A and B are shown apart, each in its own frame.
Chain A
Amino acid sequence: MKSHVWRPAFVVLALIVLILIVRAFYVSKDFGIWERGYMYGFHRKSNEDEWKAFTVKYKSAEYCKDCHSDKYSSIMQTPHAVIQCENCHGPALDHPSDPPKLTVDKRRELCLRCHYPLPYPTSGRANIRGIDPEKHNPGIECVMCHNPHKPSLEGMK
């Protein structure tokens, strides 16, 4: 056969080889079909470990209770026992080393998440006591009078 037939064939072959070489360097070795088959499991396996290595920031009240046992045991006697420390105090991360001090969210809006009255049937919200933020001492933080660790009215400051 004449060369004008072979020439494009060589170009195509060279391209294929080039692409395969690039692929060998660019695509990691663990890229392939994994447990969930071709349709759902086609991926780079090591990415699963990358996600597993993500930093845990919320440590739960279990992490707080050893050092802050006084606060822990007092809030456990109240209806606020269901609320995690970190919901108001912020994620613990590696406290006390990093961050050394947590910032407490003292805004009225934090309390209103639950204590703005919404009388919704078939929702637990209707059972929580609430206040009208526009009439109930507007402008000052709730913690000026109420102790969130002892929320009953006897625990008022």
Chain B
Amino acid sequence: MITRRKFLKNTIAGIAGLALPAAGAEIVSPRKLFAARNDTISGPNVRWAFLVDTYKCVGCGLCVKACKLENEVPYDANVTRTWVERYVLTKDGRIHADSPKGARDGFTTSKIDLGEGRFHDIKKEDIDKAFFVPKLCNQCENPPCVQVCPVGATYQTADGVVLVDRKWCIGCGYCIMACPYGVRFFHPVYHVAEKCTFCYHRITKGLKTACVQACPFGARMVGNIKDPNDPVSRIIRTERVSVLKDEYGTRPQVYYLGISREVI
């Protein structure tokens, strides 16, 4: 027969048993522990980050030219790892934006390129504010493009750069769809996913990225966010910087000075 004491005992034991998380039964793998240890807080002491000062950018597009030539992105194909957008906000509250050929040849006209050979000219006195915004891969801390890869062809290195393994990529295009910033594309020659690598071959040798080096105005900077004395890391810590599409939770590592809310 069930007594009240027994019933209460069993109930408490049952609830306690149910409350045990499934994770408690999991065997701890050293590899996973190692991975967790190397996460953002501790781990390796290099984490590449990028800083764009949009006040300094003049839209010359020399960064785009240098990137395409350095990284062997077909020059005349309408794809690019980095590009510069022009934003012109007029007094009637409208936003005009363009980036012809990714600004490979800069902006050599005041006319806004609407595509399909159509242009919109804006008078100087109608402009409220206008500026240029260079874009590139954000090398997110939580890269959605990596999560969706079904074959393990795209990945994040220990120092935070997201790369594509051209031998493993099957060209399914999931990552291209998953990137909220639209930085990925198909490489016209290799037919695999292609993206900005922060010039991994250069930064790992102590050089600046091709775009940073080509910029005459210092609008682009690359640095190690884990080094407190690095100029990039100091600006990110001490000045008012913002990131693109913060609400997506991707934790982008390309920081911007001087963008307004119209920039997406």
Contact = CB atoms under 8 A, between A and B. Distances in A.
Given A35-B38, A55-B201, A121 B127 contact: yes
A113 B157 contact: no
B235 interface: no
Contacts of A116: 106-109
Nearest to B133: A123
Contacts of B142: 40
Contacts of B55: 122-124
Contacts of A113: 59-62, 105-108
A10 interface: no
A44 B165 contact: yes
A112 B155 contact: no
Contacts of A144: none
A56 B167 CA distance: 21
Nearest to A44: B165
B214 A86 contact: yes
B152 A43 contact: yes
Contacts of B153: 43
Interface string A69-96: 0000000000000111011001100000
A99 interface: no
A36 B47 CA distance: 12
Contacts of B69: 57-58, 90-91
B108 A48 contact: no
Contacts, number: 172
A40 B152 CA distance: 9
B208 to A, nearest CB: 8
Interface in A106-153: 109, 112-114, 116, 118-125, 128, 133
A33 to B, nearest CB: 6
Contacts of B71: 54
Interface in B16-55: 31-32, 34-36, 38-39, 43-44, 54-55
Contacts of A53: 201
A84 B143 CA distance: 33
A37 interface: yes
A84 B216 contact: yes
B163 interface: yes
Contact of A82 (B38, B105, B165, B216): B216
B207 A56 contact: yes
B107 A118 contact: yes
A52 B201 contact: yes
Interface residues of A, number: 46
A87 B56 CA distance: 18
A87 B215 CA distance: 9
Given A35-B35, A40-B155, A54-B201, A47 B165 contact: yes
Contacts of B207: 56, 60
Nearest to B53: A124
B88 to A, nearest CB: 7
Q: Which of A58, A82, A83, A91 has the most CB of B within 10 A?
A: A58
Given A47-B165, A56-B205, A123 B57 contact: yes
20 contacts: A35-B35, A36-B155, A36-B158, A37-B39, A40-B143, A41-B35, A42-B155, A43-B153, A43-B165, A44-B167, A55-B201, A83-B216, A87-B65, A113-B61, A114-B216, A119-B124, A121-B127, A122-B131, A124-B57, A133-B108
Interface of A: 31, 33-44, 47-48, 51-58, 60, 82-84, 86-87, 90-91, 109, 112-114, 116, 118-125, 128, 133
Interface of B: 31-32, 34-36, 38-39, 43-44, 54-62, 65-66, 69-71, 88, 105-110, 124, 127-132, 142-143, 146-147, 152-158, 163, 165, 167-168, 197, 200-202, 204-205, 207-208, 210, 213-214, 216-219, 258
